[in-house]
A and B are shown apart, each in its own frame.
Chain A
Amino acid sequence: MGWGLALAAVVAVVAVVFVARPFVREPSPASDELDELAPEARERLALAEERDRALAALKELEFDHRTGKISDEDYRAQVSPLRRRAAEVLRALERGEEGPHERVPGQGERVP
């Protein structure tokens, strides 16, 4: 089975080349640092997720109201806090684009 082992050798070489590729392509790179999300970026990401959550919740509330699952009363009661929350988060995101942002109160926390 000489050819079998020969094939194995070829495959092994190809594999090693593939594994070594990042080093071969950039023998002396400007930076070998693995990207990391800076703390500000992480905060922004958290805010972005918050924003998407709030917007999705509004959309769903509206859909539930249209399909009759939520009464007008309940809709009115829930939609304002949700809208306020979404606005808060959007503002925080915009502020973050300009400079350091304030801590946005967590959901469910009392706003002083």
Chain B
Amino acid sequence: MAPLGRAALLLAFGLVAYALVAGSYAAWKRRRRLALSAQNALLAAFPVTLIAVVVLVVALGRRDMTFVYVWQHTSHRLPLGYALAFWGGQEGSLLLWLLVLTGYGGLAVWLNRRSRELIAWTVPVFGLVGVFFAFMLCFVSSPFHLQPAPLDGRGMDPSLQNPYMLAHPPLLYLGYVGLTVPFAFAMGALLSGRTDERWIVATRRWTLAAWMFLGVGQLVGAHWAYVEIGWGGYYAWDPVENAALMPWLAATAFLHSVMIQEKRGMLKVWNMVLVALAFNLSLFGTFLTRSGVIDSIHSFSRSPIGGWFLAFLGLMVFVSVALIRWRLPLLRTKTKLESLVSREATFLYNNLLLVALSLTILWGVLYPIVSDALRGETRSVSKPYYDFFLHTFGLPLLLLMGLGPLVAWRRASLRSLGKTFVAPFAAAVVTGVALLALGFGSSWPGLLAYTFGAFVAASILLEFVRGRAAAGGVRRLVSRNRRRYGGYVVHAAVVLLAIGIAGSSAYQTTRERVLRPGQSIHAAGYTLTYVTSTGVRGPNYTGFRALVDVRRGGSHIATLNPGMNDYNIEGPHNEASIYHDPRSIGDVFTTAQLVNKQGAVDLKVFVKPLINLIWVAGFVFVAGSLIAMWPDAVEQRRLAARYAAGAVPAGL
């Protein structure tokens, strides 16, 4: 079986290499049949890669320990679902990258095949990225190494055996790899010297989908960290977490600025820069997560692929910069920003803030390497650094989300602005004052987040109310303006997210005490009484649970049981116990550690108001993205007519 897998990967390598080489030559020398041939090679790469995936998945399902990879990541007792998650190790994750790349790339190219000139150059770009991953899989990091079969495998870390962790990597990869599609088409457009918007039209939904998956993937990961790891938080600014956030921020900027290019024909150079930034950051993110180059708490062993990845990343950055520079004269337009108070301008400010935030996070991630190189000493930054920039850039971004819709394109007179501004502004002021009176002034970032959130929420609501009146019903309104109103729903999700984050961090209450049975902790209106502890036993662990009685205002509302499982092989593992309070949409989060044989426990309590808004935001986010992505027959026809030079059905 392994030889089949290896052969499939070699064949895949050959196919993408052909797509790269023959495709480039064909595009350069304008050879139609060769270009088609290269396109076919790219299309064929997906089923071939799929064969390799099937071989690996079957081996994993059968727990065939002669496969080194199977031995490293499964055991005979591991439930099937987790065993089949082939992306768990480095080799498997590279395979997933290649699979999604060839799948997405093939489909995107196929759907746009009639745009021959553009596709002729897009195929080799996909080929180039594919060649790297196929090369790694064939010659550097193969999932098909064999060994004499040991009795059992190393198993999977119990904290990973969790449905959230199952979904997290594929979602992220659909995002990361998805950003290759707009990148490839953008570079294809540059290479073919096309300055029209064909590439944007072709890739708009792909970008939106990739961005959605990347966002959801991060939320799923955060939720897992919160419930499973039990340190009381959901985001730690760890390099591996930032690795996914940075490309997501860049992609957010890109999604907005692309709208400006569509509406006003401006910012062509900036869009090229952004799409290249988003793609290269997602490569960097993959590299960070897998190479151990930065001593993150998620550090894997220093793997040999680090050097290769860095070289490839350098190559792609060089290619991006060179291509943009080469085509700069073609991209420059004479259209200028007509006013600093216009929707274009707010989009521009939004872009600047998003990119600035992304770059400061990047700096924070690279700091240990930079400081080591410059001073021979590794220093790292942590939460205070990131929090500062999150507040400095994030809060204005939140505000802009509310301002943008109120401002017209091109030029907004202050008078018009005043009219539309009044209601949301009033809502914000009222909220702010009320919150101050209620004591929320204890945290000014939190207060600002809530106040700005109210502003944005009011502004979005107003859009729907006004629009509904004009269009005759919300359904008609939304279906005729899918992108705009889908976007508003996404903004609403961001508001929920911001409020949830603010509540659960700025207004969090933490208490920790060593308790004997019968003693209590008071936190934010709750009284938690430690009753007793009991031992627990599982197939591969022993442990204890502390029974905790939760009361509010004297009445019992919940019983929690935080504790610890001590696994035979892996060691101790915190089991947090969480009470979801419908009244505050928040959580009472508890962990317990045994202190002595008399049953005293160290109980830690976090009261996190509004935290569940974060998870709710995830659903709203998906809904909004889907609305914005939804195919629109009228728009499709119009675009088809526009590109009728080749009778092209535009993109998805």
Contact = CB atoms under 8 A, between A and B. Distances in A.
Interface of A: 1, 4-5, 7-8, 11-12, 15, 18-23, 26, 29, 31-37, 41-42, 44-46, 48-50, 52-53, 56-57, 60-61, 63-64, 66-71, 73-74, 78, 106-109
Contacts of B408: 61, 64, 69-70, 74, 78
Contact of B334 (A42, A48, A73, A109): A109
Nearest to A107: B335
A74 B413 contact: yes
Nearest to B6: A8
Nearest to B642: A48
A49 B196 contact: yes
A26 B33 CA distance: 8
B419 interface: yes
B470 interface: yes
Interface stretch (B34-42, B71-79, B566-574): B34-42
B151 interface: no
B537 interface: no
B15 interface: yes
Contacts of A7: 4
A73 B7 CA distance: 71
Interface stretch (B243-251, B258-266, B298-306, B436-444): B258-266
B334 A15 contact: no
Nearest 10 CB-CB pairings of A with B: A4-B4, A8-B7, A67-B466, A22-B36, A34-B30, A22-B33, A106-B334, A66-B470, A34-B32, A67-B470
A67 B469 contact: yes
A19 B27 CA distance: 16
Q: Is the interface of B mostly helix, strand, loop or mixed?
A: helix
B621 to A, nearest CB: 25
Nearest to B645: A41
A67 B467 CA distance: 6
14 contacts: A1-B4, A5-B4, A8-B7, A18-B40, A19-B44, A21-B37, A22-B32, A32-B32, A33-B32, A36-B30, A49-B642, A74-B413, A78-B408, A108-B336
B263 A37 contact: no
Given A107-B264, A107-B265, 15 more contacts: A4-B4, A11-B11, A11-B51, A12-B7, A18-B44, A21-B40, A22-B33, A34-B27, A34-B35, A36-B30, A49-B196, A63-B467, A63-B481, A69-B420, A70-B408
B147 to A, nearest CB: 16
A73 B415 contact: yes
A37 B194 contact: yes
A20 B37 CA distance: 6
Interface residues of B, number: 63
Contact of B197 (A49, A106, A109): A49
Contacts of B646: 35
A21 B36 CA distance: 9
A80 to B, nearest CB: 13
A34 B4 contact: no
A37 B301 CA distance: 51
B40 A22 contact: yes
Contacts of A48: 642
Contacts of A50: 265
Contacts of A15: 11, 15, 41, 44, 48
Contacts of A1: 1-4
**Most A C-beta atoms less than 10 A away, residue of B37, B44, B408:** B408
Contacts of B30: 33-34, 36
Given A41-B645, A107-B265, A71 B15 contact: no
Contact of A19 (B15, B35, B467): B15
Contacts of B411: 78
Contacts of A67: 463, 466-467, 469-470
Interface string B601-635: 00000000000000000000000000000000000
A73 to B, nearest CB: 7
Contact of B645 (A23, A45, A60, A63): A45
Interface string B396-424: 00000000001011111101100110000
Nearest to A55: B638
Contacts of A23: 33, 37
B26 interface: yes
Contacts of A106: 333-335
Interface in B372-418: 406, 408-413, 415-416
A59 to B, nearest CB: 10
B8 interface: yes
Contacts of A74: 408, 412-413, 415-416
B37 A11 contact: no
B104 interface: no
B7 A5 contact: yes
B643 interface: yes
B40 A53 contact: no
B204 interface: no
Given A4-B3, A11-B48, A50-B265, A69 B466 contact: yes
Contacts of A32: 31-33
B116 interface: yes
B117 interface: yes
Contacts of A78: 408, 410-411
A82 B534 CA distance: 76
